[in-house]
Amino acid sequence: MDFIQFIQNIYRTTDFIPLHEPRFRGNEKKYINDCIDSTFVSSVGKYVDQFEKDIALYTGAKYAVAAVNGTAALHIALMLAGVKADEEVITQPLTFIATANAISYTGAKPVFVDVDRDTMGLSPNSLRDFLENETTKLINPSTNKPSTINKKTGRRIAAVVPMHTFGHPARIDEIKILCDEYHIALIEDAAESLGSFYKGQHTGTFGLMGTLSFNGNKTITTGGGGMIITNDEKLAKMAKHLTTQAKVPHAWEYRHDYIGYNYRLTNLAAALGVAQLEQLPEILKSKRELASQYKAFFAESEIQFATEPENSQSNYWLNAVLLENRDERDKFLKYTNENGVMTRPIWELMNRLPMFKDCQVENIENSELLADRVVNIPSSVI
C-alpha cells in the first residue's frame, strides 16, 4: 500500500491531513464556561492553581509554575539558574528556534554541541568531549565556587539545555552527571515531552528546572501556555514572582522589587489545560498505537521510522521518518504535501541561521545528518 492511502485509512478521510491538530473531547467547554460565568478569565483564578497542581502531580516535580508560553518559561528558568549576559549556554543545534531564542533573551550566547543519532537529543558523549577539551575549571574568588570556563572565549558556561526532540528522551542521566561534575546548571527544554519518561522518571525533572509548552501543536494544549517544573521551593516561588510582574503582596499597594515580566497564564487557558490533562492517558495511548502502526508500515520500506530510544518511554508527540538523503527527503516532502498529507522537514540547524552563525559549534555530524533526512509525518490523536 502506498503511504498516502495508508494514512488516509488511518484518519478515515481523503481530506487534507494536518501534521498535528488538537482534540477537545473532554471537559474543555465546561471549564471554560465556568471561567466566563465566574468572570475570572484573566491572570488569577482557580484553574491556574489547579493546572499547576495537576502538572506537578503528573510529572512528579514538587512544584510547577504556569507561564504564558514555553519560550517565556524557558527564559525565566535560565534567568533563575543564574545565566547572565556574556556568559554561554550549551544546547543542541537541532532544536526549535525557541530554545536558542530564550537563551539569547538573557544576553548569553549559545554554544552548539551535537545530538545522538538515535535520541535526536543532546549527546552526553559530545558534551563530555566539549567539556574535557574546550573548558577549564576555575574557582571564583568572590564566591569561592567552582565554575567552568570556555578556554576559547574566557566566558563562563552557565547552563546546559538539552531538548527531548519530538518527545524522545535524551540520555538525560548521563548529561546530569556531567553537569554536576562541571558545576553547570541543567535546564531541560521538555516543551515536546510531556508524558515522556526516562528510566521511569518524567523528562524535565532531572535538572534544576524543566520547562513545558502547551502550544496548539503540542501533546496537550492551552491555546498557548507553558510551565516551569522544579523540586526547588525557592526557585518555584521566585519563578511565580518574576512571571507576575514581581509584585510584593499587599492588600492595596503597588510595590515591585524586581524587573518582573507579564508572563502569566490566563485562567481561561489554564481551564483548557486542566481539561486536556485529564485526557492525557488516552492521548498517549492513541499516540503509541499510531506509532506502532507506522512502525509496522515502514518496516516494509526503505524509509526508517524513528522509535523510542532504549530506557525510555516516549510520548510520540511528532512521529518522524528518516529518508536516505536530502534528495529522497525532498521527493517525499513534495509527494506527500502535493497529495493532501502534511509533512515537514526537521528544523534548520540553529548555527545556520543568521542570528547564530557566529556562535561556537563543535563537531555536529549527527545533527547535520538528521537535518538532511528527517521528516515529520501526521501525528494527531486518532
Ligand X SMILES: *Cc1c(COP(=O)(O)O)cnc(C)c1O
Q: Which residue in 215, 221, 230, 366 binds ligand X (CB under 6 A)?
A: 215
Nearer to ligand X, 104 or 213 (CB): 213
Residue with cell 548521563: 174
Q: Which residue has the cell 491531513?
A: 17
Does 192 sit near ligand X (CB under 6 A)?
Answer: yes
**Considering the rule CB under 6 A, would residue 79 count as an interface residue with ligand X?**
no
Member of 98, 161, 242, 371 binding ligand X (CB under 6 A):
98
Burial class (CB in 10 A: 0-12, 13-18, 19+), 262: exposed
Name the residue nearer to ligand X (CB basis): 163 or 361.
Answer: 163
Closest approach of Cβ 346 to ligand X, in Å? 11
Taking the complex as a whole, the smallest distance from the CB of residue 135 to ligand X amounts, in Å, to 25
Q: Write down the least CB distance from residue 218 to ligand X, Å.
A: 6
The reply on whether position 163 binds ligand X by CB under 6 A is yes
Smallest separation, CB 146 to ligand X (Å)? 30
Q: By C-beta, is 195 or 226 nearer to ligand X?
A: 226
Sketch the per residue contact string, 270 through 309, with ligand X: x for CB under 6 A, - otherwise: ----------------------------------------
Binder to ligand X among 93, 121, 124, 226 (CB under 6 A)? 226
Which string of x and - marks every residue 36-75 that binds ligand X (by CB under 6 A)? Answer: ---------------------------------xxx----
Cell numbers for 182: 562541571
The answer to whether residue 77 forms part of the interface with ligand X (CB under 6 A) is no
Only segment of 28-36, 95-103, 109-117, 356-364 that touches ligand X (CB under 6 A): 95-103
Query: Which residue among 87, 134, 189, 362 contacts ligand X (CB under 6 A)?
Result: 189
Q: Looking at beta carbons, which pairs linking 282-289 to residues 24 or more positions away fall under 8 Å?
A: 282/381, 283/23, 283/195, 283/219, 283/220, 283/381, 284/195, 284/219, 284/315, 284/316, 286/381, 286/382, 287/219, 287/315, 287/316, 287/317, 287/379, 287/381, 288/316, 289/382
Residue 360 makes contact with ligand X by CB under 6 A: no
For residue 200, the Cα-to-chain-centroid distance in whole angstroms is 18
Given a contact cutoff of 8 angstroms between Cβ atoms, the answer to whether 206 and 186 are in contact is: yes
Q: Name the site residues for ligand X (rule: CB under 6 A).
A: 69-71, 95-96, 98-99, 163, 189, 191-192, 213, 215, 226
